[in-house]
Amino acid sequence: MTYIKPIKIADIVLENNLALAPMAGTTDLVYRSICREMGAGLTVTELVSARGIVYDPDLRKTYRYIEISPEEYPVAIQLFGSEPEDFNKAVRIVLNHPILSSCAMIDINMGCPVAKVVKQGAGSALMIDPTRAGKIAEICVKTASEFGKPVTAKIRTGWDEHRVNGVEVAKVLESVGIAAITVHGRTRKQMYSGQADWEIIARIKQEVGIPVYGNGDVTSPESAKKMFDMTGVDGVMIGRAAQGNPWLFAGFFPEKAENLGLNADNNYMPAKVDKVRLILRHLDGLISRLGESTAVREMRPQMSAYLKNSRDAARFRQLLMRADSRVEVATILGEWCID
C-alpha cells in the first residue's frame, strides 16, 4: 500500500505513518506493544495530568498510566492540563526519568471532551483559547528540546459548529515549534458522535507545513486510503476500530497478514484460538504489572471488545464482564473457543 510509508517527525523517522490513537482504559503498555508488533508505527499513552505529575514527582500514583517500555519505541507520552508551568515541570519530571525518558516524544492533549477535564480549562477547552494553547505548546517545546525530544499535539476541529477554528490553532502550534499535529475531525460538542469532518482535516493539512495525522472514523485499510486521498494527510491515527482488534494494523501489511493467517475472506480476523492466545497474553502482561485482581477487573471491557465481532459471543462477553480471576477468564475463553 503505497500510502503507508515512513514519516519524519522533527529528526525522528518512524517506520510508517500509521498510529494507534491514545485511548484511556484501552491503550495500556501491553496493548500498545501488541499494536506496535502488528504494524502501528507510533503509539501514544493515555492522557495523564501534568498537574498530577507535578504533585507526584516520584510518580508513585501516576506511573502506571504513563509506564512505557523501551521495546515499544516509538511511543509518545500524552499530557493534559491548562497551566503552562505545570507542563514545564511535568515534562522535566518525565524526561528526567530513567525509563520514561526513552519515549520518542511528548504529546499535548487538546481534544479531550470530558467535562471534568474541560472544566479545568484543559483538553478541548484549549481549542477556545488559542493563546493559552500556544503558551503551553511553547513551554513544552522549550523544555523538551533541552532533552532533545520533539513535542506534538492532538487537537479537535474546534469547540462547536460556531467555533471551528482548528486551522487557527494548528497555525499557532506550528509557529511555536510543535513538530506534528493529529486532528480528530470532530468538535468538542460532537464528542464521539456523528461523522468525523475530513474536510477540515484537509484544510488544516493545507495550511501547515508540519506533518498532520488525520483521525476519526478510520476503520480499515480501505477507509485509511480514503482519508489519505481526501485529505492529503501525512499519516492516519486509528482509535475505536482498534479496540479489541490489534490485527487491524496487520491488515495494512500483506506479509504480516499472511503470517498471521489473516485475509480479506476472514475480514482480517484471526482464528478463535489465536484470539484467545493474544487475549491471555494481554491479560498476563497486565497481571504482572497490576496483580491478578486489578488486571482482570480492568481488562473486562477490553476482553469484551476482543469478542465484539464474533457471532454468538454475547453470552461469553457477559460472563467475562463478571470474571474475577485468570482461571475463570481462561475457562470462559476456552468454552467460547469450542462453541
Residues marked active site are found at: 112
The residue (of 222 and 258) whose beta carbon lies closer to ligand FMN is: 222
50-79 footprint of ligand FMN as x/- string (CB under 6 A): ----------------------------x-
Q: Are 209 and 231 in contact (CB under 8 A)?
A: no
142-181 footprint of ligand FMN as x/- string (CB under 6 A): ------------x---------------------------
Torsion sign (Cα): 35, 36, 40, 42:
positive
Give the nearest distance from C-beta 26 to ligand FMN in angstroms. 6
Secondary structure of residue 260 in the 3-state scheme: coil
- Binding segment for ligand FMN (CB under 6 A), chosen from 232-240, 262-270, 283-291, 328-336, is 232-240
- Looking at residue 21, what DSSP letter applies? P
Binding of residue 240 to ligand FMN (CB under 6 A): yes
- Binding segment for ligand FMN (CB under 6 A), chosen from 233-241, 276-284, 315-323, 326-334, is 233-241
One-letter amino acid for residue 5 of the chain = K
Binding of residue 137 to ligand FMN (CB under 6 A): no
Q: Which residue has the cell 513551554?
A: 139
Binding of residue 22 to ligand FMN (CB under 6 A): yes
Q: Which positions ≥6 away from 212 have C-beta within 8 Å? A: 170, 180, 181, 182, 183, 201, 204, 205, 233, 234, 235
- Binding segment for ligand FMN (CB under 6 A), chosen from 96-104, 214-222, 263-271, 321-329, is 214-222
Give the nearest distance from C-beta 258 to ligand FMN in angstroms. 25
Binding of residue 217 to ligand FMN (CB under 6 A): yes
Binding of residue 24 to ligand FMN (CB under 6 A): yes
Strands (E) in the chain, as ranges, are 7-9, 12-14, 18-20, 43-44, 48-49, 75-80, 105-110, 151-158, 180-187, 212-215, 235-238
The residue (of 132 and 272) whose beta carbon lies closer to ligand FMN is: 132
Give the nearest distance from C-beta 111 to ligand FMN in angstroms. 5
Contact with ligand FMN (CB under 6 A) among 9, 14, 21, 260: 21
The CA R_g of the chain, rounded to the nearest whole Å, is 20
Beta strands 7-9; 12-14: pairing state: antiparallel
- Binding segment for ligand FMN (CB under 6 A), chosen from 21-29, 138-146, 291-299, 328-336, is 21-29
Contact with ligand FMN (CB under 6 A) among 6, 8, 13, 25: 25
Binding of residue 23 to ligand FMN (CB under 6 A): yes
Contact with ligand FMN (CB under 6 A) among 216, 235, 244, 246: 216
One-letter amino acid for residue 312 of the chain = D
Q: Which positions ≥6 away from 45 have C-beta within 8 Å? A: 22, 27, 32, 65, 66, 68, 75, 76, 77, 78
- The site that binds ligand FMN (CB under 6 A) totals a number of residues, namely 23
Beta strands 180-187; 212-215: pairing state: parallel
The residue (of 66 and 276) whose beta carbon lies closer to ligand FMN is: 66
Residue of closest CB approach to ligand FMN: 239
| Burial class of residue 224 (count of CB atoms within 10 Å of its CB; 0-12, 13-18, 19+) | buried
Distance (Å, whole) CA 99 – CA 77: 12
DSSP secondary structure letters along 69-123: -GGG-SEEEEEE-S-HHHHHHHHHHHHHSTTGGG-SEEEEEE----HHHHTTT-G
Distance (Å, whole) CA 75 – CA 20: 10
Contact with ligand FMN (CB under 6 A) among 111, 158, 166, 251: 111
Residues that bind ligand FMN (CB under 6 A): 21-26, 46-47, 78, 109, 111-112, 154, 184, 192, 215-218, 238-241
